[in-house]
Structure 1
């Protein structure tokens, strides 16, 4: 065995072999793949081999699309048939809501270029007469996917990897990882078979690697402990059954070929044919997590006992949908572990806190994702960044606050939710509430309907009757699926509440809980030089703030920061609440790298130390004037004493506050950063002071609408690792007169597309969600990244990316919503109050 390599891949399933293959494809000629047992002996061997395109994630759709195209070319390269049966995939709908879901998914699919067809119940019956259609509304059909033999495709990728120079070593287990400062020292143990079990021998070996990738599947928790990190990838039981041959299917095949894969999402199952019979795979409620502390040594390519009672309803609905299956006996059954994460998406990217350690764990749809995961992870490792934004799959989207119990509850929930209606504003109830600001109960009592961001409970909107001012629904920690909001792919019943809140910010005043913001304090003799290098904009003067960006090595946007300069070498950094661990890891690693050059730098995560209220609207100054303790309270908040884009330490009642004159809504306003333990006192005083000034509590949905009226970009939508700040139209926050990290790469990218704001004449009952295709002269030319409703213009609004030549105010485009095309027009940036008169208003 080699003792030193460029990259060591740990795990010989479909994901691990794909990563090894693609690293070699991208030019790394010194790669070793380790497998503790035999290739495919983990979840790969018992996977059903489905290749579903369907996914609401833009990044994951790209990954699945790459996999399906890649698998089709493997035989030509390797001479091994990957066992890919391109039979098509029919995803059926029993309700209009389900069809709405498919139409929203299709918007994402269209932006990626995934082919699909729409089918009526009659179309289905004509083409696939074995399917009962009398209770169906319709279906979406993917003609280019189907199913694959997991073992065959893994072996084909392994052969392709070997042909490209990869060494594959079996029966070696990684038992220790140590970072030497420049490379990884990995201790390996030879595994031997003894009495049918795989056990560790006395033989050990050490291999050093510049990079390590872990793709350890069900062993992900053991890997995390060896690395000294935390992540929530834990296996959940998945069972499926195989029937005897169905005579009706056998007869149909004689003239039609293989039957397409069927998915009845409302019945929570998939079906594909297998040797003239059927494979039924349900996603039932009650499937338990397994191996939360590690896989027993005795568990190899093993299975759990089948729990038929748990899938009885799904089995009966299968017979209902395919009546010919009723008389067919059961031939085989499988119940094995499949790794899950709380959101059902894998963990792909750099490990938190570690250098050159890469994770590829938590693949609940590992066969579908393996090819694309290998390609895009290889791009990140070899080129420094992938061509698509992989932030939504980054392992650091889950912070250190995640515990084993949390992961178990959420992973079980993710499994059970595979076939639920995936509303774009979906909120899942398991393990909630967990992270709550002190004012949580006060807001709940006032009708708050909460969403979850990085574990924090954050009001999405307040169910308040606008006429009576009374709570319109029972307050609770998590919105029930049957509640008044009745989530919808169109304008749900929450929409009127959000509109009232947005109008309050524009006309009177609104108070927003922004406690979930990520907050870091960077100080020390080297802080100024470091931040000047780390970010794109000029650093603010003491007492002032600036919006700025940290870039990737590829020159694209890694993080957006609001920087408050508290003193000469003391800075307060505010970033998106959903990305706390993600931002912290990048910041801390950069500081460690540059401290020897710039001098001593101290960085502290103070997210849980400070709460934040955002107060905005024409009456916001008058409200604060009633609370501020100042010798001249009337002028304390004037433009002269407290100008726009400045920060001051003030006192509101008994609470010391760092007040920042900025508002994400585009109105006169302040962010009030306060000691967390004093939050309830401040909340009560603000509500009292604003009662006769029509202060209204405001949630995240209204805020999202308002920020689009100002063309304020958001990280994770307009801002990400696939576009530069210049492409995002943020030139004014990029100081090209200074050197900063990623500058030349950003300039080399040029302008491939441009971010724009659009006003949309959409349907009366719906607004865009921010994933729809944009068309010009009948051709797809871009996509929306955000969407919503504008109270200022009385119509839908959106933001997105289009070719630079079309990023001109007045350009007429079309946006596809619910299969129809609707008029959209590119506007000037900040269509609401472009001169910022409201924000700068004096008083």
Structure 2
């Protein structure tokens, strides 16, 4: 048995097997896969095997698309039939609102070339007369997906992996990981079966691995503890039932008719497919409990939980309603097993936080659907340094160290039934909230703040009258919040607004090597002491890894501000990179100071007059002038009794400042600002209006316009790139072809709908790109969006179209920063 490998994959389910296969396919030799029991003995064996395309995530759509296409090639390569029944997938809708969800999803599907068809109730009835349709309004049909045999597809990939040189060892349980500084020593115990249980045989050995991938499914919590990290991956019960043969279905098939597609009545929250003349019904009911909060019992193998029919009674009755022939059909079999989930429903796929050469592939609630693509794109990250799609939305570091088992259990139990509930783009799910709150939380809540959640933080999305029901206002079109956000946008453009931006990520980088390190990490030239700049860090592929506002506090001290959603993601990169370069640059300290500093952003033409009422300065009349406090500079000032690190920058494109303050003084500062703002009619403003305003300035945002699938050059950030210096990823960026360019579009859209930032862009009848952001422009009285199109279509005035809610609407490329392109309003003196 090998004890020295390049890559060790821990876990023998469908995900782990795909990763081992794809690493070998990508050219890596000495790949080994370990399984504590038998291949597929985890959640894979009891999975229903569905392959649904439907997913609101752009990255996940690419992953699912790859899987569905890849599985169809396995038999030709390996000689094993993976059992793929390409019957299609019919997703039905009982309301027009649900059809709006499908239209929004179709915008993402269209940009990935996922085939789909729209069907009316009459068309459904004509093709599949066993389905009751009088209470349906329509459906979306994917003709190229269906279902697969989970064990067969896993075994086919395992054979393909072995053919490519992968060693697969069963009955081997990992009991420890130790990083030596150059490789992992993985302690493995040989397992044997005794009395139906798996026990350690007494044989133990160590495998030396350059890279380790954990794909341990339901055992993710145990794996995390061995690694000394936290993970929110916790299993939840999923049950499905198999009926006795349905005579009506048998008669339908015996008459020569084709197999039904996988049917999903999402408003009733179930899926169903044919199974040997009967049906498999899988509900997503409320009340499904999380299991194995801390670990899976060693005695638990390919086991199941007792069925809880009472819990799925409503879904079962709805199934009978939709397919009336099943009313007299009995139950043949049942399954109730653990399926791992995460709080946002997306898997954890990528580097492990704080660890070297450790990769996670955990939390796959749709493991069969995602396995092929997950293996493909993770192998790209490991072998080539980056995947061809932006994987940040799946990165394990999107969850910070604040995650606890209670949080994970609570959120995962919420995620499970939400799989088939409407995926509102403006929805904020309530479980485990509020959790992380800025000190001013109670104050802004009392003033009507309607909160969103970002990295666990409560952040005001908008403000509404007390008693306003945020959940009831959700919509796939303009929700009830829209007019409130519009008023807030107008307030900043015409007067002054105050934004709670405490969730921003903040790092302090200092030490003798700090200047050289930050200079090497970032694309822009370093600011002088007391000044700031906007800059980017790159991936090994030369694409955009992160965006930072850098404040230079001293020659060897830097305050870095980045997106609030990515604290652990940015911290991990900074800490690891600083350690790598300390020998070259000298001693470097990196401190995550996010929770030490609160942030208020004040912006608008009247922002200077509000701050002038509070500032304590020997010459208060000129303290905020352009001469003493120019644009893109930072100063330590006093606002009343609060020491403030003030940064003259505004994400809204108006005159403004970010006020970074000791978080324990936040409420005092808020009260002072509120009082000083009353004569100027200052309005509290939330994140949704801010998002609209930044698009009027063509300000790119990380996670939308900026990501690991586009270079800063493609994003139109040339002015923030200093090619006269060396920086990480520079040559890869320079060598990368320009595939498309980021543009801002003004759109003549429907009266009650704005783009959400996932819609397809057309040149005539030809699809040429996609939006990455969208919303409303109060300044222009039109919808607005940002996105990527071929370079030939980037000239201001170019006429294009955007598909919104199924229809094409006229759009026009604008100049960059269509609102105040010369920045005169930001620079205004006082």
Q: TM-score range by the shorter chain?
A: over 0.9
**Partners of 2:531 and 2:738 in 1: CA distance:** 31
Retained in 1: the 8 A contact 2:51–2:147? yes
Retained in 2: the 8 A contact 1:218–1:235? yes
Match of 1:513 among 497, 500, 504: 500
For residues 179-209 of structure 1, the C-alpha deviation after alignment (integer angstroms, 9 at most, x for no partner) is 1111100010001101101111210011101
Match runs of 1:710-749 below 5 Å:
710-749=697-736
Match of 1:352 in 2: 353
For residues 414-466 of structure 1, the C-alpha deviation after alignment (integer angstroms, 9 at most, x for no partner) is 10111110011221100000000000000000000000000000000000xxx
Q: Residue 480 of structure 1: CA displacement?
A: 5.2
Match of 1:420 in 2: 421
Q: Residue 251 of structure 1: CA displacement?
A: 1.4
The residue matched to 1:519 in structure 2 has which SS?
strand
**Partners of 2:471 and 2:537 in 1: CA distance:** 39
**Partners of 1:593 and 1:450 in 2: CA distance:** 39
Match status 1:550 vs 2:537? yes
Retained in 1: the 8 A contact 2:455–2:564? yes
Match of 2:584 in 1: 597
Match of 2:679 in 1: 692
TM-score (norm 1): 0.98
The residue matched to 2:706 in structure 1 has which SS?
coil
Q: Residue 354 of structure 1: CA displacement?
A: 0.3
**Partners of 2:449 and 2:257 in 1: CA distance:** 55
Match runs of 1:169-180 below 5 Å:
169-180=169-180
Q: Residue 473 of structure 1: CA displacement?
A: 3.0
Retained in 1: the 8 A contact 2:447–2:466? no
Match status 1:159 vs 2:159? yes
TM-score (norm 2): 0.99
Match of 1:218 in 2: 218
Q: Residue 252 of structure 1: CA displacement?
A: 1.4
Query: Which ranges of 4 or more aligned residues in structure 1 deviate by more than 3 Å?
Result: none
**Partners of 1:817 and 1:565 in 2: CA distance:** 43
Q: Residue 3 of structure 1: CA displacement?
A: 1.1
Retained in 2: the 8 A contact 1:753–1:802? yes
Match of 2:620 in 1: 633
**Partners of 2:320 and 2:582 in 1: CA distance:** 66
Match of 2:35 in 1: 35
**Partners of 2:257 and 2:550 in 1: CA distance:** 64
Q: Residue 494 of structure 1: CA displacement?
A: 0.5
Match of 1:337 in 2: 338
**Partners of 2:793 and 2:806 in 1: CA distance:** 23
For residues 231-271 of structure 1, the C-alpha deviation after alignment (integer angstroms, 9 at most, x for no partner) is 10000000000000111111112322211100011001000
Retained in 1: the 8 A contact 2:530–2:554? yes
Q: Residue 694 of structure 1: CA displacement?
A: 1.2
The residue matched to 1:401 in structure 2 has which SS?
coil
Match runs of 1:541-690 below 5 Å:
541-690=528-677
**Partners of 1:18 and 1:823 in 2: CA distance:** 43
The residue matched to 1:267 in structure 2 has which SS?
coil
Retained in 1: the 8 A contact 2:236–2:412? yes
For residues 645-693 of structure 1, the C-alpha deviation after alignment (integer angstroms, 9 at most, x for no partner) is 0000000010000000000000000000000000001001101111120
**Partners of 2:72 and 2:578 in 1: CA distance:** 45
The residue matched to 2:523 in structure 1 has which SS?
coil
Retained in 1: the 8 A contact 2:470–2:481? no
**Partners of 2:265 and 2:570 in 1: CA distance:** 40
Match of 1:115 in 2: 115
**Partners of 2:404 and 2:365 in 1: CA distance:** 20
**Partners of 1:718 and 1:425 in 2: CA distance:** 19
Match of 1:766 in 2: 753
Number of positions where the alignment pairs a residue of Structure 1 with one of Structure 2:
829
Match status 1:474 vs 2:467? yes
Retained in 2: the 8 A contact 1:551–1:742? yes
**Partners of 2:249 and 2:796 in 1: CA distance:** 57
Match of 1:2 in 2: 2
Match of 1:406 in 2: 407
**Partners of 2:13 and 2:403 in 1: CA distance:** 27
**Partners of 2:626 and 2:558 in 1: CA distance:** 23
Q: Residue 634 of structure 1: CA displacement?
A: 1.3
Q: Residue 777 of structure 1: CA displacement?
A: 2.5
**Partners of 2:616 and 2:822 in 1: CA distance:** 32
Q: Residue 818 of structure 1: CA displacement?
A: 1.2
For residues 621-660 of structure 1, the C-alpha deviation after alignment (integer angstroms, 9 at most, x for no partner) is 0000000001111110000000000000000010000000
Q: Residue 750 of structure 1: CA displacement?
A: 2.6
Match of 2:481 in 1: 494
Match runs of 1:55-454 below 5 Å:
55-254=55-254, 255-454=256-455
Retained in 1: the 8 A contact 2:427–2:471? no
**Partners of 2:722 and 2:388 in 1: CA distance:** 25
For residues 340-396 of structure 1, the C-alpha deviation after alignment (integer angstroms, 9 at most, x for no partner) is 000011000000000000000000000000000000000000000000000000000
Match of 1:538 in 2: 525
Retained in 2: the 8 A contact 1:253–1:259? no
Match of 1:523 among 510, 524, 537: 510
**Partners of 1:511 and 1:4 in 2: CA distance:** 58
The residue matched to 2:400 in structure 1 has which SS?
coil
**Partners of 1:114 and 1:734 in 2: CA distance:** 36
**Partners of 1:349 and 1:598 in 2: CA distance:** 28
Q: Residue 22 of structure 1: CA displacement?
A: 0.2
Match of 1:814 in 2: 801
Q: Residue 779 of structure 1: CA displacement?
A: 1.1
The residue matched to 1:110 in structure 2 has which SS?
helix
Match of 1:469 in 2: none
Match runs of 1:769-788 below 5 Å:
769-788=756-775
For residues 538-570 of structure 1, the C-alpha deviation after alignment (integer angstroms, 9 at most, x for no partner) is 000000000000100110000000000001101
Q: Residue 810 of structure 1: CA displacement?
A: 1.0
Match of 1:467 in 2: none
For residues 83-136 of structure 1, the C-alpha deviation after alignment (integer angstroms, 9 at most, x for no partner) is 000001000001111000000000000000000000111111111111111111
For residues 760-787 of structure 1, the C-alpha deviation after alignment (integer angstroms, 9 at most, x for no partner) is 0000000000000001131111000000
The residue matched to 1:608 in structure 2 has which SS?
helix
Retained in 2: the 8 A contact 1:453–1:577? yes
**Partners of 1:34 and 1:304 in 2: CA distance:** 26
**Partners of 1:425 and 1:599 in 2: CA distance:** 46
**Partners of 1:215 and 1:750 in 2: CA distance:** 34
The residue matched to 1:585 in structure 2 has which SS?
helix
- Any gaps of 5 or more consecutive residues in structure 2? none
Retained in 2: the 8 A contact 1:7–1:212? yes
